[in-house]
């Protein structure tokens, strides 16, 4: 098994279990567990294939990954609750593993097809975060990857390293794999965040002011 398949295997297991646990948190039945787990594990790859011009039907040639994902989700479904809670406390770590593995996998796909660096960055990012976004949407949650600690940036930086040719050999890719995980966990521990601007308070204040003005106008009309 080459390094490419290793990253595919690691990412599939990590994200399949992640999707299964989210489904159980939302009290889905066993079919929902399998659907959400498969979407999380393979959704990013489908989006990537659409964008970089790879046949989506290649997904069906990955039979062994489907089997691995099904086995991982089945194990997660039958595990005792205390084990799942223990895994839940380490969820960020396993999620970082999936992010790193799939980001590198997506970047390798794009470079093998001869795409420019911009496409490599997009492929790395969407392969790494696409499944998680679809998972959260189907579970009725706001996508955490777009508002949580720095997440997609690490996938893009991994794609940048591969696109620039800084990581080619198996050893270099494994080192990059570990670096992405390390930076993701540091962003969780230290709560690093990208700059954000919230308009919720401004909109609320504007609505209150408009309501106050309407009341004042109504009082003036009543007096007249």
- CB neighbourhood size of 172 (10 A): 15
Task: Give the phi and the psi of residue 211 in degrees, each rounded to 5.
Answer: -65, -40
- Residue 92: CA atoms inside 13 Å, Cβ hemisphere, count? 15
Q: What is the rounded CA–CA span in Å between residue 184 and residue 47?
A: 22
pLDDT by residue (tens digit) across 9-27? 888 888 899 899 989 989 9
pTM attached to this predicted model = 0.80
For 2, residues 6+ apart whose C-beta sits below 8 A from its C-beta are: 170
Question: Is the model's pLDDT at 61 over the cut of 90?
Answer: no
Distance of CA 182 to the CA centre of its chain: 16
Q: Could you give the dihedral angle defined by the CA atoms of residues 166, 167, 168 and 171, in that order, rounded to the nearest 10 degrees?
A: 140
Residues 84-107: what's their mean pLDDT? 83
Asked if pLDDT for residue 205 goes beyond 90, the answer is no
List of E strands, 8-145 = none
């Amino acid at each position: 098994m080459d390094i490419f398949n290793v990253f595919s295997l690691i990412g599939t297991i990590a994200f399949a279990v992640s999707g299964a646990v989210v489904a159980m948190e939302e009290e889905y039945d066993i079919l929902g567990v399998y659907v959400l787990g498969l979407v999380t594990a393979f959704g990013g790859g489908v989006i990537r294939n659409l964008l970089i011009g790879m046949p989506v039907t290649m997904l069906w040639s990955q039979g062994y990954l489907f089997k691995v994902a099904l086995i991982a989700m089945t194990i997660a479904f039958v595990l005792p609750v205390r084990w799942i809670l223990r895994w839940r406390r380490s969820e960020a770590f396993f999620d970082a593993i999936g992010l790193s593995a799939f980001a590198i996998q997506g970047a390798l796909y794009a470079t093998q097809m001869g795409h420019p660096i911009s496409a490599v960055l997009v492929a790395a990012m969407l392969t790494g975060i696409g499944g998680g976004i679809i998972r959260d949407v189907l579970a009725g949650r706001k996508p955490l990857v777009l508002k949580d600690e720095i997440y997609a940036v690490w996938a893009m930086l991994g794609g940048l390293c591969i696109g620039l040719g800084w990581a080619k050999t198996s050893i270099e890719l494994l080192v990059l794999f570990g670096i992405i995980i390390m930076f993701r966990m540091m962003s969780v521990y230290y709560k690093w965040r990208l700059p954000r601007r919230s308009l919720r308070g401004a909109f609320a204040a504007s609505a209150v002011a408009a309501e106050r003005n309407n009341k004042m106008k109504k009082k003036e009309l009543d007096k007249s």
